[in-house]
Structure 1
Amino acid sequence: MHDMPLPERSALKLAVIGTGYVGLVSGACLAEAGHHVICVDQVPAKIEKLRAGLIPIYEPGLDEVVHRNAAAGRLGFTTNIAEAVSGADIVMIAVGTPTRKLDGNADLQYVFAASRDIARALSHPAVIVTKSTVPAGTGMEIKRIIARENPTLDFDIASNPEFLREGNALSDFMKPDRIVVGTETERARAMMEALYRPFTAQGFELISTDIVSAELIKYAANTFLATKVSFINEMADICEKVGGNISDISRGMGSDKRIGRAFLQPGPGYGGSCFPKDTLAMVHIGEKALSPATIVEAVIAVNRARPHRMVAKVVAAAGGDVRGKTVALLGLTFKPETDDVRDSVAVLVAEQLAGQGALVRAYDPQGMDHARELLGEAVDYAPSMDAALDRADLCVLATEWREFAERPLADYKRLLRTPMIVDFRNVFVPAEVAKAGLGYLSIGRAGVPAPELLPA
């Protein structure tokens, strides 16, 4: 093997394969750190938009970082992979790994296709890094594919999983809790340390592991967080049966430093692009290794039941039947500050309520177009929060957008035909809702009957 010396310059040259959520955020942030990055995608329309400064995803602050680094010449976009990898020190794979319907495992076809393309386009020594979330052993398979496609190529492989929260991705990348890098050679480790030197120089921790450990860290972290979500939701269900306030329980648990407050907010269940597919993939990894991930299986089962429980809560608030009733659904994305509706419980609830005969009138600040792709014309799409609430029989608060949480309760009372809110996110304080003259059902807390539904 030939030497692959670290460049004397502090800035490295990177090619990032894939301009989806992970690829675009990673490429833009690494350019912001001073490196020279070219992002490549096979979809010409996507690249044309990015070159024109149009960002295909909603992520607070991302447009500013992309525009600034493109203007500075540190960030470029192309459909030509040979152009992207030319002279690159590091080639980063950041394509999608969706769930396979057949077995619940991560679908690696895009990762392997990118590996073949890289092998054919690359003609000089480089480190090929997997940024996509992939099951244990994927790195070794990538190594075999590249060696088979280009037997004379001198290359190293590495795993560098992402830990980005939608809505907080820029902060998560630029001020990370940790940076995980898995390598099998010293020169790959040295190159990855050089890549992240702008971060470690500020005191952020880089954890160096073997490749399989790095691949598993991402799954272990996400499945543990999903476990916290399902656990607190089960506790909320118990509160609704035996009494108790889940908000107090969450606070009491989270004050224990060994447990922590994060991911102990009860709600409609987890969704989005990571937790659903990563928990399923973790179960598949365990099955394949003949070491079942039984706790994770239970986490998935609890989460799968959440949409049905949420629908039952709405039906109860409507007096036992939603047929012919107008339901104002506030929120369609799986969380605020994103336009992502993948595996969003709000979308599933909208679909089920419409199927039971409700007239669902939905509004979301960012997720309307994506939700329409999933729901079609099953629901009405309101142009504003006020339009959604206007003369509705009840309101379902499904996503805790600031616009909804900061709106005075008096406005809800004024706009709704029947003053009733079903709050999947425990945004409001029950006593304050009651004082405003509204009925209220939340998660794991005592309800407030709607005044108009109380017996005379």
Structure 2
Amino acid sequence: MRISVIGTGYVGTVSAACFAQLGHEVICVDIDKSKIDKINAGIPPIYEEGLDELLEKHAGKKLSGTSDYRYAVMNSDVSFICVGTPSGPSGNIELGIVKAASASLGDALKDKKDYHVIVVKSTVVPETTEKVVLPIIEKYSKKRSGDFGIAMNPEFLREGKAIYDFMHPDKIVIGSMDKKAGDLVASLYSGLDCEITRTNPRTAEMIKYVNNAFLATKISFSNEIGNICKQLDINTYEVMKAVGKDFRIGPYFLNSGAGFGGSCFPKDVKALIGKAKAIGYEPLILESVIKVNEKQPGQMVLLLKRELGNLKGKKIAVLGLAFKNDTDDIRESRAIPVISELLENGAEVSAYDPMANENMSRIFGNIKYNSSAADALKEADACLVMTEWDEFKKLDKEFDLMENKLIIDGRHMLTPRKDTKYVGLCW
């Protein structure tokens, strides 16, 4: 099948590369020419484990890039909208980029005689595909739904594991306006061993939001329990490990710590809250999920102050800047509010992340970035662990470089040493 993918961010580039790996001919579309030049050269415009090998393999063969919507539509059978849907000031998602992509696709579609399916893969709140995307495409294409297909196909990819997740999905959801469009989209995944859930667009949109909101809820619930356990001198990890053995609950996403970040969980929960309020419902649990998550970074600094007192002039090593391991993505990283509060208290921040130093330097240009954990720890008065990188588990003698061996672990990563003061965030 011939596919065009609109947007070369995490979802778009990964989807394009994986569709090419499945044997489809893929055209990437982006108004940013520098990203298209990278795609055509086989260079990933973003970091994702395994993506470089796929692009190098398929660029110039099964995979190409362009900024020309009309060319992409004319030379494909289906177009995926994979553009960003950032949060607005109130938490509701901004649909400006989705609307612009829809208009460009509609304009390109008006001259095409063959049947073409447009699929929304961007994360959008329920009713967006039917009430926003479809009317725009109809307006600019001068066609009606049925002359072309419209569908919603959410992604469930984990950053750092996105290639694996695409090729080994636990679910594929397709919401279509009609059977013909849904059948075509389903055929794209015929090479994957996974049952496909067929539904309508607004249900597919809701499935995506509920999926992420429930995972975020498990994390915030675990953190709430962890904060209570901390006050009672109970190891929350022992508690949640036992609780997770109940088959009705399961062991995943029960780790207490500094909270969740990234481009999905915070944004999606806030967007679902906004949608609920727009229809007159007060989503109390979802609001609490966000409140607990926003509280956790402050708990890290509170523990630090309890141990050190005044932070002015203190050198604090921050290990981990990415919102999670195996990515350079710092969006909604829990390290950001922690560093902000440290600087507000007059502390000197010495930071290290194996991948995210450069990205974080665009936010904090006035802190020291190090090329290793050892360098970050030199003469530090305390260390805060913010990201679960595997290399941090192996740290040992590096802590001897600290002026004061105080470690506050926000990710349950380290094994306490006898000669260090180890403080767990929730344990």
Are 1:148 and 2:135 matched, yes or no? no
The answer for the alignment partner of 2:352 in structure 1 is: 363
Aligned pair partner of 1:238 in 222, 228, 237 = 228
Tell me the distance in 1 between the aligned counterparts of 2:93 and 2:409: 33
Name the CA distance, whole Å, in 1 between partners of 2:374 and 2:87.
Answer: 37
| CA distance in structure 2 between the aligned counterparts of 1:229 and 1:186, rounded to whole angstroms | 37
Match of 2:323 in 1: 334
Q: Which residue matches 1:381?
A: 369
Match of 1:345 in 2: 334
- Give the counterpart of 2:36 among 41, 47, 53: 47
> Could you tell me how far 1:215 is from its partner in structure 2?
0.4
Which among 59, 79, 86 is matched to residue 91 of structure 1? Answer: 79
2:118 corresponds to which residue? 128
> How many angstroms apart in 2 are the aligned matches of 1:411 and 1:108?
47
Local SS of the residue matching 1:228: helix
Q: Which moved more, 1:156-165 or 1:119-128?
A: 119-128
The corresponding residue for 1:418 is 404
Shift of 1:324: 0.6
Match of 1:213 in 2: 203
Mapped to 2, the partners of 1:147 and 1:315 lie a distance apart of: 59
What percentage of aligned pairs have identical amino acids? Answer: 42
Q: Which of the residues 297, 304, 307 maps onto 2:297?
A: 307
2 CA distance for matches of 1:17 and 1:30?
A: 14
Aligned residues: 421
Q: Does 2:425 align with 1:438?
A: no
**Match of 2:65?**
77
CA distance in 2, matches of 1:243, 1:392: 27
| Superposed CA offset, 1:372-397 (max 9, x none) | 111122x1111221111111111111
Task: Spell out, residue by residue over 1:8-52, the C-alpha distance to the aligned partner (whole angstroms, 9 max, x if none).
Answer: xxxx10000000011001111111111111011001111112222
CA distance, structure 1, for counterparts of residue 79 and residue 35 of structure 2: 20
Residue 98 (structure 1) shift: 0.2
Distance in 1 (alpha carbons) for counterparts of 2:298 and 2:101: 39
Please name the residue that 1:452 is paired with.
Answer: none
Q: Distance in 1 between matches of 2:186 and 2:33?
A: 33
1:187 aligns with 2:180: yes
Q: How far has the Cα of 1:316 moved from its partner?
A: 2.0
Match of 1:160 in 2: 153
Q: 8 Å contact 2:373–2:398 — kept in the other structure?
A: no
Q: Which residue of 2 aligns with 1:354?
A: 343
- Residue 418 of structure 1 and its aligned partner are, at CA, apart by 1.0
8 Å contact kept, 2:382–2:405:
yes
User: Deviation per CA, 1:156-181, whole angstroms, max 9, x where unpaired?
Assistant: 11000000111110111100010000
Q: Are 1:228 and 2:218 counterparts?
A: yes
CA distance, structure 1, for counterparts of residue 136 and residue 265 of structure 2? 28
1:191 is paired with a residue whose SS is helix
SS at structure 2 position matched to 1:198: coil
Partner of 2:50: 61
Q: Which residue of 2 aligns with 1:269?
A: 259
CA distance in 2, matches of 1:231, 1:90: 41
Cα shift at 1:329: 0.7
| Structure-2 separation of matches of 1:56 and 1:349 | 29
**Structure 2 CA distance, aligned partners of 1:335 and 1:152?**
44
Aligned mates of 2:293, 2:335 — CA distance in 1: 13
CA-atom RMSD in angstroms: 1.2
Contact 2:220/2:293 (8 A) holds in 1: yes
Query: Contact between 2:43 and 2:55, CA under 8 Å: does it hold in 1?
Result: no
Q: What's the secondary structure of 1:53's corresponding residue?
A: coil
Offset from partner CA, 1:109-158 (integer Å, 9 cap, x none): 10010000001112232110000000111111211111111223621110
Letter in 2 for 1:427: M
Equivalent AA in structure 2 for residue 38 of structure 1: I
Deviations 1:236-257 (Å, cap 9, x if unpaired)? 1001111211110110111111
Letter in 1 for 2:407: I
CA-CA distance at 1:211 after TM superposition:
0.8
Are 2:377 and 2:398, in contact at CA under 8 Å, matched by a contact in 1?
A: no
TM-score (norm 1): 0.90
